[in-house]
Structure 1
Amino acid sequence: MTDQTYFLPSVRLPRAAVREQATTVLQLDVLLGLVNRTSEPLAILNPHRQIVFCNEACWRLGGLSTPDEAIGLRPGELLRCVNVVSSPGGCGTSEKCRFCGLAQALVEGQENRAAAGRCMIESGDGSELVATEYRVQVTPLPEAGPGWEYYSLTDTSQEGRRRVLDRAFFHDILNRAFAVEGVADALAEESLTSAEREEFTTMLGVAVRGLVEEIKSQRVLVAAESGELAVESVTVNSLELLREALQTCAAFWLDEEVRFEIALGSEAVEFESDPALLGRVLVNLLKNAMESSKPGQVVTSSCRRQGDEVQFFVHNEGFMESAVAAHIFQRSHSTKGHGRGLGTHSVRLLVEQYLGGKVSFDSLRETGTTFRVRLPLRARPLASLVPITSNGGGH
């Protein structure tokens, strides 16, 4: 096996050697206690992080037919983590593995320290992606020798989804409600001139529309995650949609010292899509770009045709550190703080599950961050799209 790695060692034992280890480990009295102690998925790992033994809940979680199929695999390989595909060295060796809560806990376990953490693993076989949040518990197993450990997983997707949605909803709604309250209090002042009263009345209208927009956004996200979102595709114009999204941002975030611009050369492309959902995608990307910018910086957007696709671009001058970029599409990670990662999560959810497109990004310290949305010119039937779901709550 290749020794290429960005994090943990890639070297592993052949399956035959792991099976020999299993015969020794299975003789340990402590193993029986472990198996009887939990109904959660549990596996014992050798110093190479390979599964030597796992209970039924564990190998069934990986979609296997027999426990023997799990022998020699690493945790991410059992769970079909998408990062394994991009890393020849296997589970624990990709660049994103450095930020995986499970991989970090396994490091501590090998150093003879019990560890706990959380991780979100996107798994799939190419036809379906499933994002699952786990609570991880890793415990050293010195009875088997140095570097041996076992881990257990608890699926917290439902709990995590509810927690993040609630926190984000109340955070955003309260911000908007405070804005409405502040302008309403200002309007109550009897000393206002007619010009001031007119200005505050306009501001109140903007604040109220912003409040309604946040409520609609949360409603769409809840429906999308539960698979209940309806898609109504019509012929739309890319440049018109982009301008409307910019007008929305300019109206709702008047107090931000960031400029929005449409790049020269942007094309007015006619294509089929759901204007309401795509408009929400563009507003989210523009809003995130604005929140990642400093006063005086510019958020640039554009659109153009590329073959049988239409492409949208949103660029800001900010740079994402690797730890943020690795989790940018996960619902519980964000540059804005714990539990605020719904903007990019909803973008990918809407684009890839409902609009038939793809979302990608790059972030370089020298040039900034650019998000790209690619959509087909002809809308695809919803049933043909690749689902991205969340266990227990179903991206």
Structure 2
Amino acid sequence: MAKTPLPTKFLPAERATDEEAHRQHLAIAAIPLLRSFLDAMPNLVLMLNEHRQIVYANKVALDTLGVGLEALMGKRPGEAVNCVHAHEESGCGTTEFCTTCGAANAIACALQGKPDARECRIQVEAPSVDLDLKVWATPFRHEGFSFTVFVAVDISHEKRRRVLERIFFHDVLNTAGGVKGLSEIMIESTPAEFPELAKLLNLSSERLVDEILSQRDLAAMETGEYRPNPTDCPLKTFLETMAGLSATHEAAKGRVVVVEPSVPAGSIVTDRALLMRVVGNMIKNALEAEPSGAVIRIGAEKAEAGCYALWVRNPSVMPRKIQLQVFQKSFSTKGEGRGLGTYSIKLLTERFLKGKSSFTSAEGAGTEFRITLPPSIQAP
């Protein structure tokens, strides 16, 4: 009687028995030259069986993961690094989130006999960090067994540098576009409208100068040595300013940004320039997701431990495939070099504003991006 397949939303969930995995390990261990070669490599290398289970790991892998080989035997890569999704469904490679995982897809290609290389971002449970990796998966056959040689290199520093540079130019172009839009509106404005538009143009110009000056902070951001500039930020005034600035953006044509009247009267002490980038990207994403005539709502509310949550809501619902990749720096629906808004929200909020970022998207409720910030950040 055939066994019922284990539940999975992507790759097969079945595993080799401990005895089978041990025999596969012995087949690799019996090749002294291969073991010496793998241990001489400066990168993390895992040998996986046809069920994607670890049957051998080189010295760098053991040192990096801080465990012995016995602790890794039979585990899958996501389980070895404690991926947040590794214990869902039937384990690493079987969840809905795994369908967009670079490592899982590279291994799947290798199991079909095709070498593959991809970038991969893994959210780790404890400590709560994100691993940015370049991974290679290469098929290897020995003594009737099918193996995958899995190599991983940490590219966090390189990715962070590239993304921060792209975020900077992305935001400068957004602000410059707002200045251009305002100038076009002023040409056709009435004398009564001119003073208010002039104020907005001045505010947008000041923001553009701040964006350009912030280029000098990029190197410090790369290494985590950025020194925030904490200032008092009244929430209602801040959100009203952001709503006014967003009205000048190209994506705002035919759309309205409304500040909810329930915004509390409180304020936070934070890096205002970075917060403007974060909330500006939240609003821009919402505007770009909606057709003409849509209303985007922004607001704030008290959260736990004296924190405040700032949110942006739009009526549309994101397709599930896109939801699975939100906050992934390598993901974009807009082409190479674009689509950085959601990742910049996460990076700037969590790394520099000491907050948390999240989103929800569901029928009937629409889409909400939310950041939760402490009442004060302290400059190092």
Residues 295 and 144 of structure 1: is their aligned pair in 2 closer, same or farther, counting only changes over 3 Å? farther
Q: What is the CA-CA distance between 1:116 and the residue it aligns to?
A: 2.0
- What secondary structure sits across from 2:82 in the alignment? coil
Worse overlay, 91-100 or 318-327: 318-327
Q: Is the 8 A contact 2:167 2:340 kept in 1?
A: yes
* Aligned partner letter, 1:49: R
* Aligned partner letter, 1:301: I
Q: How do 1:16-165 and structure 2 match up within 5 A? A: 17-28=20-31, 31-32=34-35, 35=38, 38-62=41-65, 64-85=66-87, 87-126=88-127, 128-129=128-129, 131-145=130-144, 147-165=146-164
Q: How do 1:286-325 and structure 2 match up within 5 A? A: 286-306=283-303, 308=305, 309-325=307-323
Residues 229 and 162 of structure 1: is their aligned pair in 2 closer, same or farther, counting only changes over 3 Å? closer
Worse overlay, 346-355 or 69-78: 346-355
Q: Is the 8 A contact 1:118 1:133 kept in 2?
A: yes
Deviations 1:355-383 (A, max 9, x none): 4432211123554211122334x437688
Residues 124 and 306 of structure 1: is their aligned pair in 2 closer, same or farther, counting only changes over 3 Å? closer
Question: TM-score of the superposition, structure 1-length normalised?
Answer: 0.77
> How many residues in Structure 1 have an aligned counterpart in Structure 2?
370
Q: How do 1:198-347 and structure 2 match up within 5 A? A: 208-209=205-206, 211-215=208-212, 223-231=220-228, 236-253=233-250, 256-264=253-261, 266-274=262-270, 276=272, 277-306=274-303, 308=305, 309-347=307-345
Q: What is the CA-CA distance between 1:290 and the residue it aligns to?
A: 1.7
Question: TM-score of the superposition, structure 2-length normalised?
Answer: 0.80
Q: Is the 8 A contact 1:354 1:382 kept in 2?
A: no
Deviations 1:94-125 (A, max 9, x none): 22111011101111111122222221223251
Residues 246 and 180 of structure 1: is their aligned pair in 2 closer, same or farther, counting only changes over 3 Å? closer
Residues 333 and 193 of structure 1: is their aligned pair in 2 closer, same or farther, counting only changes over 3 Å? closer
Q: In 1, distance between residues paired with 2:190 and 2:12?
A: 71
Residues 174 and 380 of structure 1: is their aligned pair in 2 closer, same or farther, counting only changes over 3 Å? closer
Q: In 2, distance between residues paired with 1:83 and 1:221?
A: 32
Residues 358 and 157 of structure 1: is their aligned pair in 2 closer, same or farther, counting only changes over 3 Å? closer
Match of 1:368 in 2: 366
Q: Is the 8 A contact 1:112 1:142 kept in 2?
A: no
Q: How do 1:376-391 and structure 2 match up within 5 A? A: 376=374, 378-379=375-376
Residues 344 and 269 of structure 1: is their aligned pair in 2 closer, same or farther, counting only changes over 3 Å? farther
Q: What is the CA-CA distance between 1:219 and the residue it aligns to?
A: 5.5
Q: Is the 8 A contact 1:5 1:93 kept in 2?
A: yes
Q: In 2, distance between residues paired with 1:207 and 1:237?
A: 19
Pick the aligned partner of 1:351 from 325, 349, 352.
349
Residues 168 and 372 of structure 1: is their aligned pair in 2 closer, same or farther, counting only changes over 3 Å? closer
Long gaps (5+) in structure 2: none
Deviations 1:54-87 (A, max 9, x none): 111222232x2323322212111222222225x1
- What secondary structure sits across from 2:367 in the alignment? strand
Q: How do 1:162-177 and structure 2 match up within 5 A? A: 162-170=161-169, 173=172
- What secondary structure sits across from 1:247 in the alignment? helix
Q: In 2, distance between residues paired with 1:25 and 1:307?
A: 53
Residues 263 and 193 of structure 1: is their aligned pair in 2 closer, same or farther, counting only changes over 3 Å? closer
Percent identity of equivalent pairs: 32
Q: Is the 8 A contact 2:308 2:372 kept in 1?
A: yes
* Aligned partner letter, 1:371: F
Q: In 2, distance between residues paired with 1:310 and 1:115?
A: 44
- What secondary structure sits across from 1:274 in the alignment? strand
Q: Is the 8 A contact 1:324 1:334 kept in 2?
A: no
Residues 243 and 106 of structure 1: is their aligned pair in 2 closer, same or farther, counting only changes over 3 Å? same
- What secondary structure sits across from 1:82 in the alignment? coil
* Aligned partner letter, 1:164: V
Q: In 1, distance between residues paired with 2:167 and 2:355?
A: 26
Long gaps (5+) in structure 1: 384-395
- What secondary structure sits across from 1:83 in the alignment? coil
Q: Is the 8 A contact 2:102 2:120 kept in 1?
A: yes
Q: What is the CA-CA distance between 1:53 and the residue it aligns to?
A: 0.7
- What secondary structure sits across from 2:247 in the alignment? helix
Q: In 2, distance between residues paired with 1:372 and 1:60?
A: 38
Q: Check if 1:6 corresponds to 2:24.
A: no
**Highest relative contact order (Cα 8 Å, sep 6+), 1 or 2?**
1
Q: Is the 8 A contact 2:39 2:58 kept in 1?
A: no
* Aligned partner letter, 1:59: L
Q: What is the CA-CA distance between 1:243 and the residue it aligns to?
A: 1.4
